[in-house]
């Protein structure tokens, strides 16, 4: 039975604790676009048709094993903050919210224990998606593939013998598959190698964008890399290709980091510790500033220049330091200035609590400078 409008709680955040070892790749995502036969695509459909699509998908979802004890959230009946929280968690796109002029009949159905689910009535009737921590494209694809098989037997899908699965935008036709990885590559940015790498990515049929998807700026050295084409190759080929290229980018990032450690250890160390110091003590933090500082600390943790905080804590701050999450926690709407103050306080508390955990468990705390300040950094050789 699919539950309706359950509290969002920790929904869709399981990626935060995955892939901790490889702090370079934060998460892997796979989505496939599908449409129902016999209905105009959502952008061309009226509210009634979109309602009927939603009802059909909801009924099918009741019978899909992958969505056992799933929850559904209809965006028309969610409050503003919950909608924004879903966007901030990358569980729905802003497009799903519609323009507010008529009921969007958009919805998210999310499995109970994973971040695998379906967005209904976005640009296409169905966007099946899975989000997994670390570089785990194959695991994400398996979840989506399984859900696709289940729903495909329950719903009549729009399919063309030559073009494959049909979508509202011709750029998604065929497999309908978009696989992406969220990757943190400050080494390549600092060594100014990044433009070469991004150019290489574009030349092999992949594309990149910022943390918040299409059209968003790159902040905090977080990039999303994804396949550009969806037709003419198998789903497995598209995923393997992205995984292989991501592996190469990780390799380049590692070598950029060792160059930095070798050539400019003091500068690097200073950057990392300053970032930590500001996050740990600031009284007002804008989102972009927080993202950039988190990037510095993440680099420090990854290079073992800092022994705390944990990568998991950094991931959590990345998500919960966003404005809708802060508003939900504070229980009210905030202006920009209030949000910056609230964000700084949230970050200080998180880092302090991580430090306490670290000292209790014997990990050296990030604010204790015994590890690196007294001698050359570990990789400085």
Partner 1 sequence: MLCDDCGKEDAEVHVTSIEGEVMSMVQLCASCAAERGLAAESAIGEAPSKPPLLDFLGQLGSTSPAASAAGASEPCPFCGITASDFRSAGRVGCSQCYVHFESQLSGLLRRIHGSAHHSGKVYINETSDISDRLGQLSSMRRRLKRAIETEDFETAAKLRDQIHEIEVQA
Residue 207 CB, nearest approach to partner 1 (Å): 10
Among 3, 5, 43, 267, binds partner 1 (CB under 8 A): 43
User: How many residues in the shown chain lie near partner 1 by CB under 8 A?
Assistant: 50
Question: How far apart are alpha carbons 340 and 327 in whole angstroms?
Answer: 11
Does 46 sit near partner 1 (CB under 8 A)? no
Residue 101 lies near partner 1 (rule: CB under 8 A) = no
144 vs 182, beta carbon nearer partner 1: 144
Stretch that binds partner 1, among 229-237, 264-272, 280-288, 371-379 (CB under 8 A): 229-237
Q: What stretch of H or E contains 90?
A: none
Residue closest to 319 by CA, chosen among 55, 61, 89, 2? 89
Shortest distance (Å) from residue 15 CB to partner 1: 19
Q: Minimum distance between the CB of residue 68 and partner 1, rounded to whole angstroms? A: 15
Residue from 138, 193, 312, 357 in contact with partner 1 (CB under 8 A): 138
Contact call for residues 36 and 121 (beta carbons, < 8 A): no
3-state secondary structure of 304: coil
Q: Give 118: exposed, middle or buried? Use CB within 10 Å, 0-12, 13-18, 19+.
A: buried
Min dist CB 340 to partner 1, Å, is: 37
What CA–CA distance (Å, rounded) separates 61 from 300?
A: 44
C-beta of residue 130 within 8 angstroms of C-beta of residue 116 = yes
Contacts of 77 (CB under 8 A, 6+ apart): 5
Contact between 52 and partner 1 by CB under 8 A: the answer reads no
Q: How many residues does the chain have?
A: 381
Q: At closest approach, how far in Å is the CB of 293 from partner 1?
A: 35
* Minimum distance from residue 323 beta carbon to partner 1 (Å): 31
Among 228, 255, 292, 371, binds partner 1 (CB under 8 A): 228
Among the listed residues 6, 14, 17, 40, the single contact to partner 1 using CB under 8 A: 40
Residues 6+ apart with CB under 8 A from 333: 327
Instruction: Tell me the window of 41-49, 82-90, 253-261, 295-303 that interacts with partner 1 (CB under 8 A).
Output: 41-49
Q: ∠174-176-177 over CA atoms, to 5°?
A: 120
Residue 284 in contact with partner 1, rule: CB under 8 A: no
Stretch near partner 1 under the rule CB under 8 A, chosen from 105-113, 228-236, 276-284, 289-297: 228-236
230 near partner 1, rule: CB under 8 A:
yes
Q: Which residues, including other chains, have CB under 8 Å from residue 349's CB and lie 6 or more apart?
A: none
Q: Whole-number minimum distance, CB 211 to partner 1, in Å?
A: 24
Sites for partner 1 among residues 3-22 (CB under 8 A)? none
Strands (E), the chain: 3-4, 25-34, 71-74, 107-110, 116-120, 126-133, 159-160, 164-165, 177-184, 206-209, 222-227
| Token pair belonging to 118 | 């379906």
Stretch of 168-176, 249-257, 285-293, 300-308 lying at the interface with partner 1 (CB under 8 A): 168-176
Task: Kindly state whether residue 376 participates in binding partner 1, applying the rule CB under 8 A.
Answer: no
Query: Which pair of tokens denotes residue 276?
Result: 């930590």
Q: Which of 231, 250, 287, 334 binds partner 1 (CB under 8 A)?
A: 231
In order of 62, 90, 159, 179, 329, the CA distances from 71 in angstroms are 10, 17, 28, 24, 22
State both tokens at 151: 């729903």
Which positions from 288 through 347 interact with partner 1, judged by CB under 8 A? none
Note the residues at the interface with partner 1 (CB under 8 A): 35, 37, 39-41, 43-44, 123, 138, 142, 145-146, 148, 152, 156-166, 168-171, 173-175, 177, 202-205, 228-236, 240-241, 244-245
């Amino acid at each position: 039975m699919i539950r309706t409008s359950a509290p969002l709680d920790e929904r869709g955040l399981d990626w935060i604790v995955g892939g901790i070892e490889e702090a370079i790749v934060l998460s892997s995502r796979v989505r496939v676009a599908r449409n129902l036969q016999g209905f105009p695509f959502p952008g061309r459909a009226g509210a009634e048709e979109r309602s009927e699509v939603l009802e059909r998908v909801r009924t099918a979802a009741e019978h899909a094993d992958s969505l056992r004890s799933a929850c559904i959230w209809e965006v028309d009946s969610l409050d503003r903050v919950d909608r924004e929280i879903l966007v901030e968690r990358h569980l729905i796109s802003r497009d799903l919210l519609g323009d507010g002029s008529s009921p969007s009949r958009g919805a998210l159905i999310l499995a109970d224990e994973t971040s695998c689910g379906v967005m209904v009535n976005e640009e296409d009737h169905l966007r099946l998606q899975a989000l997994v921590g670390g570089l785990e494209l194959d695991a994400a694809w398996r979840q989506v593939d399984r859900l696709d098989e289940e729903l495909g037997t329950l719903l009549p899908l729009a399919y063309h013998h030559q073009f494959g699965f049909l979508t509202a935008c011709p750029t998604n036709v065929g497999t309908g598959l978009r696989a992406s990885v969220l990757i943190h590559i400050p080494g390549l940015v600092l060594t100014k190698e990044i433009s070469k790498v991004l150019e290489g990515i574009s030349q092999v049929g992949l594309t990149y964008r910022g943390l918040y998807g299409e059209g968003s700026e790159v902040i905090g050295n977080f990039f999303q890399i994804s396949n550009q084409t969806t037709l003419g190759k198998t789903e497995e080929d598209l995923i393997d290709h992205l995984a292989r290229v991501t592996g190469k980018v990780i390799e380049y990032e590692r070598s950029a980091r060792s160059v930095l450690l070798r050539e400019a250890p003091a500068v690097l160390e200073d950057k990392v510790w300053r970032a930590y110091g500001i996050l740990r003590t600031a009284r007002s933090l804008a989102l972009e500033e927080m993202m950039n500082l988190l990037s510095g600390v993440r680099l420090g943790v990854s290079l073992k220049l800092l022994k705390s905080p944990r990568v998991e804590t950094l991931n959590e701050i990345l998500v919960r330091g966003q404005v809708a999450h802060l508003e939900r926690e504070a229980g009210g709407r905030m202006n920009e200035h209030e949000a910056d103050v609230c964000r700084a306080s949230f970050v200080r508390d998180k880092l302090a609590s991580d430090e306490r955990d670290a000292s209790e468990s014997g990990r050296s705390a990030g604010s204790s400078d015994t590890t690196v300040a007294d001698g050359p950094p570990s990789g400085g050789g």
